[in-house]
Structure 1
């Protein structure tokens, strides 16, 4: 007798429901797709594509040994990971956001820098929204407050670190869940380019994956909200569960608890984020640690956010009275400037190494002559 496939049946039912949305609500469906494409063109690609390229270059260069030294206490003392490159991986995760985190952790795991247990810990502690999105998009554009955006970012990072510490204790109690031998450093496959060319090729593939999920879930949010005729709270719950950007926008519209709603949406991260991480994460690494840690992360992030708000009394109210044109003056985020600086350092390093090889080759030819 053929075994009953419950997962396949659920996926088929979901696909049938989505097909019904397309047929019954073509207008909102098209609007959702257009909004997703607009988000990719004006937000996702400009923010993430340079991070994807720089991440690949940094992890293949000597910069990976010392760029994340400031986070060595977190990785070495907190998570028990002694490799210095692990601190750089965590720094890239916190700067680039969840998509860059999945790409960087997978690359470090395949290079042999991390074993399976260490990669799982960095997955729990590194996946989240990047500073550019949290501070600029959520803080400035959605909540009209730079201090609120900074408090949200601090709460997310503090909750990430604390959740990873707790997860380390859990893995110590159940060592079989993360048992594996270290992975040896892998060479590029045949036909796969290395260096800048390989980094750009990998970044293009990652961007296609991310944009595909963004467009699909933005369409799903628009069509489902139109079909269900939800109130503001229901619309927020739907969007926060499906797509993090829409969830934060819906949360910012809740006048009574806008900041806390955005904090919860950023902590939960949404189904779209989980599927993007799964698509960018190498198959050898499981996704269940990230899913299992989110309830704890949600509680910790809300507590940290309320704590940080007490340290900035009245700041949010003062900032929220500024004219909207002040928001338009903020163009480059500090993390983007840091990425640009690291990229320039990498280019100079490769140019210097190339010129050194040319000089060495010329010297060897002169000695032979």
Structure 2
């Protein structure tokens, strides 16, 4: 126990020294990153994020929002969450991205509409960048193609749903949730007060801007001191906006690295989600699915990417030909094979659980 505390203290000391020395080692890069971060928070981010924080708080308290969220009911069923408000949370995540989705999940847990376990299981399907950022900023501005931005968003959101559904099927604790953690009695819906919603949304937005500024400064400082390849990888691990910006300048691998940056999301996004969500939510399913999300999103993006010349990318020369798309018949066979493998694995786990819980198979040593 003492060794763990000593190790944590040593890591904290090293981080404090590195972060404190970074502005002195690269003052111009850090100052420029902070100025760009303030411009981002007062401009595009303010327009694309702040209204959706208000919308998420309003929508999660409005049962009539189920009509708008009707197309997301099958997704909630695949994820294994039967709460009526689950489709509304998925709708908020699809339109607004990770921050409004985390805010909607937190509001649902506080109001008793979902248990913390259900919110944890639903969150991996919602943590992604919003369509406005992926399509307009990454696709149209950085890569020079709105079509590629649409494909990046489709690959990201599809991988989210598949990872969340797969984790729900393979998790043994999820199958016993009704017995271990019953849903509490839903509290009576409070009156909608726009003043409190606006105040809470404003505080949440200011917290998110603080994370954006801090991690953009770290990414810029690392980019000024490290080689280009290492600085790009550090930016992708730290902050998604800086990661996509540096990845779009890598030439041939620009679109693939942008897809990887959107999949990783960065430490900044994970810490923002942790700040928004209540302590009852462990976020373990979210952390577990990030490792699977990266190869899956890259595979889906490669399948969706059409065979065409690279003139659609502003960062690529015209003579470069993109990677070919998998033929439709092979793609269908691959999907069927993967589905069959997942079904067989799920059946094996269910049979093992049934044998372990069967009264006739109780171990005599356990009885003693």
Q: TM-score, length-normalised on structure 1?
A: 0.79
* 8 A contact 1:110–1:186 mirrored in 2: no
Root-mean-square deviation over aligned CA pairs: 2.4
Aligned CA distance change for structure 1 residues 187 and 283 (closer, same or farther; 3 Å):
farther
Instruction: Give the structure 1 partner of residue 359 of structure 2.
Output: none
CA distance in 1, matches of 2:310, 2:157: 20
- State the distance in 2 between where 1:155 and 1:194 align: 36
Give 2:254's match in structure 1, choosing from 255, 258, 263: 258
- Where 2:281 maps in the other structure, the secondary structure is coil
- State yes or no: 1:139 paired with 2:139: yes
- Which residue pairs with 1:40 in the alignment? 41
- Name the counterpart of 1:207: 205
| Aligned partners of 1:125 and 1:163 also within 8 Å | yes
Unaligned runs of 5+ in 1: 322-369
Say if 2:18 is the partner of 1:13: no
The residue that corresponds to 1:224 in the other structure is 222
CA distance, structure 1, for counterparts of residue 13 and residue 211 of structure 2 = 19
Q: Which residue of 1 aligns with 2:293?
A: 297
Q: 1:194 offset after TM fit, Å?
A: 4.5
Deviates further, 295-304 or 34-43: 34-43
CA distance in 2, matches of 1:299, 1:319: 23
The 3 A distance-change label for structure 1 pair 176 and 21 is farther
Question: Equivalent residue of 1:128, what SS?
Answer: coil
Structure 1 position 318, deviation (Å): 4.9
> Which residue matches 2:154?
154
Q: 1-side partners of 2:49 and 2:120: how far apart?
A: 23
Inter-CA distance 319–16: structure 2 relative to 1 (3 Å threshold): closer
TM value normalised by structure 2: 0.79
Contact 2:167 2:289 in 1 (8 A): yes
State the partner residue of 1:60. 61
How many residues were matched structurally? 313
Q: Distance in 2 between matches of 1:221 and 1:177?
A: 40
Deviation, structure 1 residue 99: 0.9
In the TM superposition, what whole-angstrom CA distance separates every residue of 1:89-125 from its partner, at most 9, and x where no partner exists? Answer: 1110121111111111111112122123321121111
Where do 1:120-135 residues align within 5 Å? 120-135=120-135
Measure how far apart 1:44 and its partner are.
Answer: 1.4
Shift of 1:23: 2.9
Are the counterparts in 1 of residues 80 and 165 from structure 2 also a CA contact under 8 Å?
A: no
| 1:67-106 CA-partner distances (Å, limit 9, x unpaired) | 2001111112x12323332111111012111111111111
Residue 197 to residue 116, structure 1, CA distance change in 2 (3 Å): same
Deviations for 1:105-146, whole angstroms, at most 9, x for unmatched residues? 111112122123321121111111000000000000000001
Task: After superposition, give the CA deviation of every residue in 1:49-83 in whole Å (9 maximum; x if it has no partner).
Answer: 0000111111112323322001111112x123233
2:110 aligned residue: 110
TM-superposed deviation, 1:293? 0.7
Q: Does 1:314 align with 2:308?
A: yes
Q: Check conservation: 2:103, 2:276, Cα contact below 8 A.
A: yes
Answer yes or no: is 1:72 the counterpart of 2:73. yes
1:283 partner SS: coil
The range that moved more, 59-68 or 147-156, is 59-68
1:159–1:297 Cα contact (<8 Å) kept: yes
